[in-house]
Amino acid sequence: MLFLTEVLINEIRKFDPSVSVMDPADCLFRIFRDVRFSNDKRPYKTNFGCFIARGGRKSGNAGYYLHIEPGEGFVGGGIYMPEAENLKILREYIAENGEEFMSIVNNDGFKKIYPEMFDDKLKTSPKGYAADHEFIDILKYKSFAFTHSLKDEEIISEKFIHDILLYFKQLSTMNSYLNRALQKID
């Protein structure tokens, strides 16, 4: 998984210059489960995951996620469950620049791979936004993340890296938009 992550980092850097050279270990999620409050006491996860973003997986930046698990694999990215301050900044940016957001998600190539956003929405308008705001449906989201399911056959295919890089490349425009909102890219 470290080698795969290193390959992905180097390939993503070719189309997303915000991703810098980094230690692949800074992108991996640990394999140990937190079993303290769980009825399931198995000590290990049944999946591998990595999140490649400028500054690593804990940076708060938009990035690229790979999840490998039998029958449950997927690729995706964006920003999942940002901190309250960052969520507020993202909503403000989208409220002012919603046309660009909509043009990205409605792009045929993007929509084919990522047909909808991931996560729950608020039931009412977020604080400070009118219910009739032009982009209220987007502003209700708690995350700005997108996923694309992978079949097990795709994961073991010779074209695996090639294919997920195509999926990530489609996501790069959205990641750039989200990082620009957070002013985290140069």
Q: Domain coordinates of the chain in residue numbers? A: 2-181
* Strands ordered across the beta sheet of 74-79: 48-52, 63-68, 74-79, 144-149, 117-118
Q: What is the pLDDT of residue 184?
A: 52
pLDDT digits (tens, 9 = 90+) for 30-56: 888 788 888 888 888 888 999 999 888
Q: What is the pLDDT of residue 135?
A: 96
Per the prediction, the chain carries an average pLDDT of 93
DSSP letter assigned to residue 77: E
Q: Please give the model's pTM, rounded to 2 decimal places.
A: 0.91
Q: What is the pLDDT of residue 119?
A: 78
pLDDT digits (tens, 9 = 90+) for 68-117: 999 999 999 999 999 999 999 999 999 999 999 999 999 999 999 999 89
Q: What is the pLDDT of residue 186?
A: 39
Bridge-partner residues for 74, per DSSP?
67, 149
Q: What is the pLDDT of residue 34?
A: 83
- The residue-averaged pLDDT of 176-184 equals 89
119: left (phi over 0), alpha (psi -120 to 50) or beta: left
pLDDT digits (tens, 9 = 90+) for 108-156: 999 999 998 987 899 999 999 999 999 999 999 999 999 999 999 999 9
Four-residue CA torsion sign, 107, 110, 111, 116: negative
Q: What is the pLDDT of residue 50?
A: 96
Topology (CATH level 3) of domain 2-181: BirA Bifunctional Protein; domain 2 (3.30.930)
Q: Is it the case that residue 185 has pLDDT exceeding 60?
A: no
